[in-house]
Amino acid sequence: MIFITIFLLLAIYFPFLFSETKKSQVYFNIIIIVSNIALIFLSIFSFYLVRSLSFIGVLIYINLSILIILLNILFTITNIIKTKKIGKLFFLLPILFSTLFSFLIIKNQISEKIALKIEFAKYKKELDRYIANNTKSENIRIFDNYVGIIWDPGFLDNYSVIIYDKNNNLDILYNSSGDIFENKEIYNEFKKAFEYEKIVDIIKIEDNYFRCNINQ
């Protein structure tokens, strides 16, 4: 993967390095604009990439992000040398903003939340069908009094499920402890249900439905 990244970097960079000034400026502008847009879109749809390709998807995302950042730095430095204008450092601002924006997208799980907005209705329908009619499905997972459906098969010991909680307080239970949660019976049921398959992250999708990352 690293060798592919280096090859792509050089394949894009060399034509700019050895091109005439006028042509190189057009090429420079195109690369700066397209690469920054690509980085933002890559981050927005990173969840689909990772869910589809698992660990390989993570490697692709990281390597493409590094490629885009390095391209912007190399192109800007080379452009400064070619034009002898230090003011061209201004062209590093787009990649700084794009990188920061992409970091915020990943940190706040925006990509996955977009996917949930798009796909949740389909998963909810299948989950509700099991709850109402006990309709069998290989995607259904049972956690004692909780029932869920596989959302992301994950990698190794980690996966994600959309869980139905009739009490609508799974997120509160996750962030509480036995000392402060008033209803000890419900809290003990929660701890028992996720004693071996532990919730490590949770997003409330809507009332009674939660996306939970599970570590086995």
For the chain, give the longest Cα–Cα distance: 75
For position 19, what pLDDT does the model report?
A: 82
Quote the pLDDT of residue 178: 67
Summarised one tens digit per residue, pLDDT across range 79-90 is 999 888 898 899
Is 152's pLDDT higher than 90? Answer: yes
SS3 173: helix
List 202's β-bridge partners, or say none. Answer: 212
Predicted confidence at residue 169, as pLDDT, reads 92
Q: How far apart are CA 190 and CA 192, in angstroms?
A: 5
* Residue 132 tokens, joined: 């109402």
pLDDT score for 198: 94
Question: Using only C-alpha atoms, what is the Rg of the chain?
Answer: 23
- Model confidence at 136: pLDDT above 90: no
* pLDDT of 15 strictly over 90: no
Q: pTM, whole model, 2 decimals?
A: 0.87
> Mean per-residue pLDDT for 162-187?
87
Say yes or no to pLDDT of 23 above 90: no
State the pLDDT at residue 102. Answer: 97
31-61: pLDDT as tens digits: 999 999 999 999 999 999 999 999 999 999 9
Of the chain, the percentage scoring pLDDT greater than 90 comes to 73
Q: What angle (nearest 5°) sits at the alpha carbon of residue 199, between those of residues 49 and 211?
A: 50
132 has pLDDT over 70:
yes
List the chain domain ranges: 2-108, 117-215
